[in-house]
Structure 1
């Protein structure tokens, strides 16, 4: 692992204090409030480098926005395409597959995500009410 820059260390420190995944822009605002002078482009570069070493995990929302967090237990979600609401699910059907892929391809897996897209009960009700 390469030595981390001061920018990368500051970002990791800020991410430790955040309770949920955060966008780069929100991370920039959070760090500004803490007195950091890092620019947004520097934050993006540092997040990218941290992602490539597995120190940060990224999740892309249907809107295209990327959210960053420290790698935790595998993340799995049901995401509503209408309202964008995400429901975390605890079950993980792919741990065995992950082991098989690592063995078969010698691929170093840092983490995985599993996301299902559809409509939440509330949005289903809104659609059926308007049809």
Structure 2
């Protein structure tokens, strides 16, 4: 059952759906300002927290500590380089079946899942190997 969303939450959901890429809270704040739908930064953070608890948005934390938010409808996963911070989206999602099994076996309602692999990209590998 979806919770009643306030106007701030609705604006953020609509924005994340339209831009179709992960955004930080600051980027959401700036993008809404550019669209003449300004919200305070604290309001953006509160709305994002509520939307995460509802399962309407997913957040992933970069190695820098910054969180990026995106619509759960995207179901996007990443390879993230620990050296340069580049994130490469991967198309495959090998955990859908596991998610369904966990929901059944643990009677746990899963809103979304996050799958991210951390390591070194080819460019950073070449640099660290001296090539």
TM-score, normalised via structure 2 length? 0.91
Deviations 1:13-32 (A, max 9, x none): 22222131000001101111
Corresponding position of 1:36: 37
Corresponding position of 2:101: 100
In structure 1, the gaps of 5 or more residues are none
Contact 1:16 1:70 in 2 (8 A): yes
In structure 2, the gaps of 5 or more residues are none
Deviations 1:62-90 (A, max 9, x none): 11111111112432211110111112222
Corresponding position of 2:61: 60
Contact 1:75 1:112 in 2 (8 A): no
Superposed structure 1 runs of 4+ greater than 6 Å apart: none
Question: Cα RMSD (Å) of the superposition?
Answer: 1.5
- Partners of 1:24 and 1:73 in 2: how far apart? 18
Q: How many residues get paired?
A: 130
Corresponding position of 2:49: 48
TM-score, normalised via structure 1 length? 0.91
